[in-house]
A and B are shown apart, each in its own frame.
Chain A
Amino acid sequence: MFLLHEYDIFWTFLIIASLIPILAFSISGLLAPVSEGPEKLSSYESGIEPMGGAWVQFRIRYYMFALVFVVFDVETVFLYPWAMSFDVLGVSVFIEALIFVLILVVGLVYAWRKGALEWS
């Protein structure tokens, strides 16, 4: 982890950045008043008594979008190294990348036709 000295400053920054919420919470814990009550701690539902919890089943659509997202996100991760050595690799690798992208475009068209990208 600490072999790459270039990233030392990243780790330092990470530590200092994670101190910020800790500091904020502890300062607020010292200064803020505490007066709890069952009404105050119940969840807000526009003023009426909360009905049931929120941890229930939800739309599968969110899952479908997440699935398509993973496909394209992995694609971009593969494309970045190619883009960086683009001038070295030349035409043949460009065609290979094109085929790779085209396969995924076919996947997008399939998902589109199947209605995975429809909200309602």
Chain B
Amino acid sequence: MIIDRVEVETINSFWKLELLKEVYGLISILPILTLLLGITIEVLVIVWLEREISASIQQRIGPEYAGPLGLLQAIADGTKLLFKEDILPSRGDISLFSIGPSIAVISVLLSFLVIPLGYHFVLADLSIGVFLWIAISSIAPIGLLMAGYSSNNKYSFLGGLRAAAQSISYEIPLTFCVLAISLLSNSLSTVDIVEAQSKYGFFGWNIWRQPIGFLVFLISSLAECERLPFDLPEAEEELVAGYQTEYSGIKYGLFYLVSYLNLLVSSLFVTVLYLGGWNLSIPYISFFDFFQMNKAVGILEMTMGIFITLTKAYLFLFISITIRWTLPRMRMDQLLNLGWKFLLPISLGNLLLTTSFQLVSL
């Protein structure tokens, strides 16, 4: 995923040469495929974790037959969905019915472009980083709306509308929180945001400078993921499964994938924006400085970075899985009131507070 800057620049200068263009293409395809493989494994782990934690909260055993500790259960489920019949509702809009889940998957996957997993271990350190994530994450509701509309089913239609209403309501508080963070770090690039938190170890994290923003971000990202206190679009008891009602086979599988990918993206962004990303919690003198900076140490440091990022992200995942079995579902008016009348003013106030503090410190 780290592409040598010099190498890329030299290739760019010979951009017109067809051969080098192909070489450049190869250079960028390999890290993307590696990232996709990593994402797939992580999603499988999350599905397994969700089922195991849910089971232990409800005092059940959970998946145990597929592989050791039921580890292969998620793979088995995914493969099963591939073999299932793909039912297209006769009264629905067939093309939109397929485009809906595709748009949702593509838009969620694109968010991984700017997430740094380790020290400069990021696919593309774009200067607009977080803003790209915010822009792309608002495309996913279009996919859900398409899915709900094209099914020509009342449950699906209501679910799609609810999904769109919910994600646009919580988009704005989320955006204001990210704005406050980027104002503090004076950059939109995710790598810069993490580095701005690295100065004082544990106490340099943005969670201490933005406690209100952290809470608002946590609530909004749960709502964006359609997790349980906010899972109105797919409320099983009232809307069957919302926009997924008519879906079967791999298209349903894609929606399932989207929900877990969304959760993963949100938890990684909580880590990056508030919990100091790949930095260790203890303020320490880098013991790597004592050694000669060779390749092995670099790889070790990178592995540690990825490990730390994922540990923090899984902490957030654990919280959201536990919340799923703790809080009851909200009503639609409560949901919209919370978004518009509570989180929006608070996040706006938080933003103005942050700017005032920044102004004083100027």
Contacts and interface: CB of A to CB of B under 8 A. Distances in A.
Interface of A: 5-10, 12-14, 16-18, 20-22, 24-25, 27-29, 31-35, 38, 40-46, 50, 53-55, 58, 62, 65-66, 68-69, 72-73, 76, 79-80, 83-84, 86-87, 90-91, 94, 97-98, 101, 105, 108, 112, 117-120
A32 B82 CA distance: 7
A17 B110 contact: yes
Nearest to A16: B32
B179 interface: yes
A42 B90 CA distance: 6
A13 B86 contact: no
B20 interface: no
A32 B98 CA distance: 16
Residue from the set B123, B333, B355 with the largest chain A CB neighbour count within 10 Å? B355
A117 B179 contact: no
Nearest to A21: B102
A66 B172 CA distance: 12
Contacts of A73: 138, 168, 171-172, 175
B32 A72 contact: no
Given A9-B32, A10-B124, A117-B341, A25 B89 contact: no
Contacts of B362: 87, 90
Contact of A29 (B86, B169, B254, B333): B86
Given A84-B186, A86-B358, A13 B123 contact: yes
B311 interface: no
Interface string B1-40: 0000000100010010000000011001100110010000
B87 interface: yes
B211 to A, nearest CB: 19
B250 A25 contact: yes
Given A18-B106, A65-B168, A101 B348 contact: yes
A25 B179 CA distance: 38
Contacts of B332: 119
Nearest to A97: B355
B157 interface: yes
B105 A69 contact: no
B77 interface: no
A80 B82 contact: no
Q: Is the interface of A mostly helix, strand, loop or mixed?
A: helix
B360 to A, nearest CB: 11
A100 to B, nearest CB: 12
B131 interface: yes
- Nearest 3 pairs between A and B by C-beta? A119-B333, A21-B102, A41-B90
B88 interface: yes
B165 A83 contact: no
B76 to A, nearest CB: 15
Contacts of A34: 85
16 contacts: A9-B124, A13-B110, A13-B124, A14-B106, A16-B33, A34-B85, A43-B246, A53-B91, A62-B161, A62-B164, A65-B168, A66-B168, A69-B171, A80-B131, A87-B186, A108-B345
Given A32-B86, A91-B359, A119-B332, A44 B246 contact: yes
B113 interface: yes
Interface stretch (B147-155, B220-228, B265-273, B320-328): B147-155
B33 to A, nearest CB: 7
Given A20-B109, A21-B105, A28 B86 contact: yes
Contacts of A76: 172, 175-176, 179
B19 to A, nearest CB: 17
B169 A9 contact: no
Contact of A62 (B12, B165, B253, B355): B165
Given A20-B109, A32-B86, 17 more contacts: A10-B124, A21-B105, A43-B91, A44-B246, A54-B152, A54-B154, A54-B157, A62-B161, A65-B165, A76-B176, A80-B179, A83-B183, A87-B358, A87-B362, A94-B359, A108-B345, A119-B332
Given A17-B110, A38-B90, A42-B89, A12 B25 contact: yes
B45 interface: no
A18 to B, nearest CB: 5
Contacts of B164: 62, 66
Given A13-B113, A14-B110, A112-B341, A84 B153 contact: no
Nearest to B82: A28
